[in-house]
Structure 1
Amino acid sequence: MFNKNYSLSMWLKYLEKSDRKIIYDLSEIKSLAKKLDVLDSKAFIFTVAGTNGKGTTCAMLERLLLNAGYQVGLYTSPHLIKFIERIRINGFFLNEEDYISAFQNVESERNGILLTYFEFITLAALILFKRYSLDILILEVGLGGRLDATNIVDSDISIITNIGIDHTSFLGTDRASIAREKSGIFRKNKISVIGEVNIPDSMYQIAKEKKTILKKNNVDWSWEKQDCYWNFFHSDIKLYNLPITQIPLSNAAIALAALYYSGIKIDEKIIRESISNVQLLGRFQIISTRPYIIIDVAHNPDAAFYLSKKIDEIDIKGKIYAVVGILNDKDISGIINPLKSKIHYWFAAPLKTIRTATKKQLKDIFPIYNTSVLNDINEAYKKALILAKKQDAIIVFGSFWTVSEFLSLNIQV
């Protein structure tokens, strides 16, 4: 039973404790959202789904829109350090009292309706957005699309960044099933911008059923990278010599495509001045160069493959050490395989969550000859730092949890 005097941390513990298992039905949360009167937003809404790149796509959209003078609300997940990272209003985090008030609002109207942790905080986010006069909302899908809590909101533009294999216990074990789930965010007579080039037939089928309008990468819009710049092409505009971004160009491009299809006006000068400044915490973030210390939330095979390519772009003179923690429901072999040829030594450790891969699971999968399995990320990082010379690199990756634990260490490098 909750107490009206709960602090934010107490509220979060209460929600985690009362978190129900995911059921495949949004009817109850939708009825509660109607009761809370949070579905009739006057704001223009972007909903962003995909296996990888959702967070960076949202960050690019947010920055461009803010710099153009729009009032913008962003809902994203998960957080890395503090819960308040999940919601931004006009680029700023809210204070804890705002969350507590919204949580109390949801709880007072719930009347026995069971909600997951994510469903509860999604309703709270919608309450907070309603308290401000916002022009635009950007909603990042938490898991899948069709049954995700964000899908109770009817978006004006749907975005799917890519289709990879992840969350197979909920979304299916093949790309066709996963694409079908993610396509659940499509809306009738609305545009859906697709970054995936190899689109499964199931996505076309859902688009036809829902009568959504697909705008596809390399068909309706496209981008190309040159040595020191990149170009973006759309039926109404061609942008040449754009500055290289700090986030994946594929995600910057899909954000631009979504903006142009939305009809929202942004001056080209603002685009050129803004896109190179967007960076997201924990996404190939270089926090030191002697030695290189790089953190990345890569937690599935596609993301690990991208991380491997990014490492190739850096001139690392010495050895590469990896500090890795992975959840037990992930494809652990698929995550480490793209980096096996690059990593000289692995320091693996369980994470501070019941979902973690255990020391035994890590020992069973990682190569014996060049791996140490430690007790936690703190110990793993310290071991790597002892060995690393100035010309070497330490890559910290495998999960949002891994990066979060590393950032909480506040270690001086």
Structure 2
Amino acid sequence: MKPTTLAEWLDYQQRIHPLGVDLGLDRVGAVWQRMGAPTLARRVITVGGTNGKGSTVAFLENMLAAAGLGVGCYTSPHLMRYNERIRIAGADAGDAALIQSFERIEAARGDIPLTYFEFGTLAAFDLFSRADLDVAVLEVGLGGRLDAVNLVDADAVVITTVDLDHVEWLGPDRDSIGREKAGIARRDKPAIVGELQPPEGLLNTLASIGARLERAGSHFNFERSTHRWRWQHRDGTTLTLPDPELAAPVQYANASAAIAALHALHVVNTNELERVAAAGMHMPRAPARLQSLGGDPVLIVDVGHNPQAARALADWLDTQPAGHVHAVYGALSDKDVGGVMTALGARITHWHLAGLDRDTERGLPAAVIAGVLQQVLPRASFDTYADVQHALRAAHASARHGERILAFGSFFVAAAVIAATAG
């Protein structure tokens, strides 16, 4: 039976391919060619990396919009609604537009199997190509070289960070993962590397591709002062900017890389760059990136799910006033749970461990997470719960006035917490 609603289409896409992940460009590329492979926008910026991609896309979207440019953004995964993945001129794609795009993809693919993610990527390409955009900003879903987003030749790429995640697909070390992520770059096009100490595998591959490297700490850098920060390029360009409204020290690096991409692409006049960059610091759309949901005790939600993201959380906690922190934490089976816990260590007063096995087949039961916690932090205080909702209620019941509740570990955790708060 042919799908008619968005929910039916998404269910259909999850059933027609036996694998959730099937890296490679041949199948999805063939379908895109059958659809005519139209130009997405006058300029394309692709953002890859282990962490910081969503925040960097948000900064780019805000800054480009402040410059008066027509912008489309593709990100994944979504938090609350699938429509969040595709944004045009600041608005999420509507159900009708997505359904029409899926119908065009289905007609073009014939007997070529596509994954759920590949359907979504082609839908973004299709909708962007019909929107007369100045700039399309694409977030890589997994890795880079073989990700469906890499069908499009980007005019500039940003590689935020490289760390251990998805090792079963990308390789066992930072060099291997860096080589995969470098695959989104193109010869003679800017490649912005936002990390101060990137792996040699990344740098060597960018050099072999012939990309025009723009590296943090070498080609551009930033320095912070009270309530302001300064971005500088070695060509002499200097911008004085307000602090990003996104929390966490790492957001300066993400914002800095986004500015470097605009500077390298020249999509914004140099004399306008400071104004545009300053506007981009205000409330970029990046939910669940150390997002405060208010209350007392205050509730903070974050999508951090690997050790590097946990280290960024630890750095942020170290900047906050002293006080007890109650963690609501759940994880998927392919994540380094022990590495996450070790990174946070004694900063967490009590762990409220939530099972995610009811939400997804990749979700870990709370008892399994507890077993890891007892191995890596034997003195840690914890309780286990069947799901995020019960863990969140328990955290609220046990946390006192002036303390903090930090909910993190997965997009599933963040979505459940936001939904519970909204309800």
**TM-score normalized with structure 1 length:** 0.95
Range 274-283 or range 120-129, more displaced: 274-283
Out of 374-383 and 352-361, give the one that drifted further: 352-361
Cα distance, 1:300 vs structure 2: 0.4
SS in 2 for 1:340: helix
Name the counterpart of 2:7.
Answer: 9
| Greater Cα offset, 220-229 or 112-121 | 220-229
User: Compared with structure 1, are the counterparts of its residues 410 and 67 closer, same or farther at alpha carbon in structure 2 (3 Å cutoff)?
Assistant: same
Q: Distance in 2 between matches of 1:61 and 1:37?
A: 28
Query: Could you tell me which residue of structure 2 aligns to residue 256 of structure 1?
Result: 259
Q: Given residue 254 of structure 1, which amino acid in structure 2 is its aligned partner? A: A
Q: Is the 8 A contact 2:349 2:381 kept in 1?
A: yes
Report the Cα offset of residue 238 of structure 1.
3.4
Distance 1:301 1:46, change over 3 A: same
**Partner in structure 2 of residue 197 of structure 1:** 196
Task: Identify the residue that residue 322 of structure 1 maps to in structure 2.
Answer: 327
1:117 equivalent in alignment to 2:124: no
- Taking the aligned partners of 1:174 and 1:39, their CA distance within structure 2 comes to 37
Residues 1:360 and 2:364 are matched in the alignment: no
Which moves more between the two structures, 34-43 or 83-92?
Answer: 34-43
| Equivalent residue number for residue 338 of structure 2 | 333
Shift of 1:50: 0.3
Answering whether residue 407 of structure 2 is matched by residue 403 of structure 1, we say no
Residue pair 1:47, 1:141 contacting (<8 A) in 2 also: yes
Residues 121 and 149, structure 2, Cα contact 8 Å, conserved in 1: yes
**Does the 8 Å contact 1:186/1:192 carry over to 2?**
yes
Distance 1:213 1:39 in 2: 26
Q: Which moved more, 1:172-181 or 1:271-280?
A: 271-280
Shift of 1:274: 3.3
Alpha carbons of structure 1 residues 171 and 110: separation in structure 2 relative to 1, 3 Å? same
Partner Cα separation in structure 1 for residue 14 and residue 355 of structure 2 = 21
**Matched residue, 1:68:** 67
Look up the match of 1:108.
Answer: 107
Question: AA paired with 1:59?
Answer: A
Q: Helix, strand or coil: the match of 2:263?
A: helix
- Counterpart amino acid of 1:123? L
Shift of 1:401: 1.1
Tell me the residue number matched to 2:164: 165
Structure 1 window deviating more from structure 2 (217-226 vs 394-403): it is: 217-226
Can you list the C-alpha shifts for 1:198-238, whole angstroms capped at 9, x where unaligned?
22222233223211111111111111122321110113443
For residues 50 and 392 of structure 1, the distance between their equivalents in structure 2, rounded to whole angstroms, comes to 33
1:53 paired residue number: 52
CA RMSD of aligned residues (A): 1.6
Aligned equivalent of 1:94: 93
Once structures 1 and 2 are overlaid, which stretch shifts more, 356-365 or 269-278? 269-278
Q: How far did residue 25 of structure 1 move?
A: 2.6
Secondary structure class of the residue paired with 1:13: helix
Deviation at 1:279, TM superposition (A): 4.7
Give the secondary-structure state (helix, strand or coil) at the position aligned to 2:183. Answer: helix
Q: How many residues align?
A: 409
Q: What is the CA distance between 1:80 and its match in structure 2?
A: 0.4
Q: Which moved more, 1:221-230 or 1:171-180?
A: 221-230
The answer as to whether partners of 1:84 and 1:96 remain within 8 angstroms in 2 is: yes
Distance of aligned partners of 1:295 and 1:23 in 2 relative to their CA distance in 1, 3 Å threshold:
closer
2:155 paired residue number: 156
CA contact (8 A) 2:41 2:128 kept: no
CA distance in 2, matches of 1:390, 1:359: 27
CA distance in 2, matches of 1:83, 1:277: 22
1:147 corresponds to which residue?
146
How far apart, CA to CA, are the structure 1 residues paired with 2:276 and 2:163?
Answer: 32
Query: What residue identity is the alignment partner of 2:366?
Result: K
Question: How many Å apart are 1:24 and its aligned residue?
Answer: 4.3
SS at 2:44 equivalent: strand
More off after superposition, 67-76 vs 280-289? 280-289
1:292 aligns with 2:291: no
- Distance in 2, Cα, partners of 1:41 & 1:374: 45
Correspondence for 2:224: 225
SS in 2 for 1:341: helix
What SS does structure 2 have at the residue aligned with 1:162? coil
In structure 1, distance between residues paired with 2:39 and 2:92: 24
Which one is further off, 357-366 or 246-255?
357-366
Instruction: Please tell me whether the aligned partners of residues 190 and 212 of structure 1 are also in contact (alpha carbons under 8 angstroms).
Output: yes
For 1:109 and 1:383, the matched residues in 2 are separated by 50
Shift of 1:402: 0.7
Unmatched 5+ residue regions in structure 2?
A: none
Gap change, CA 1:57 and 1:86, over 3 Å in 2: same
Contact 1:39 1:153 in 2 (8 A): no
In structure 2, distance between residues paired with 1:307 and 1:315: 14
Q: Is the 8 A contact 2:72 2:133 kept in 1?
A: yes
TM-score, normalising length: structure 2 = 0.93
- Matched residue, 2:268: 265
1:335 & 1:225 partners in 2: Cα distance? 27
Identity of aligned residues (%): 34
Amino acid at match of 1:137: A
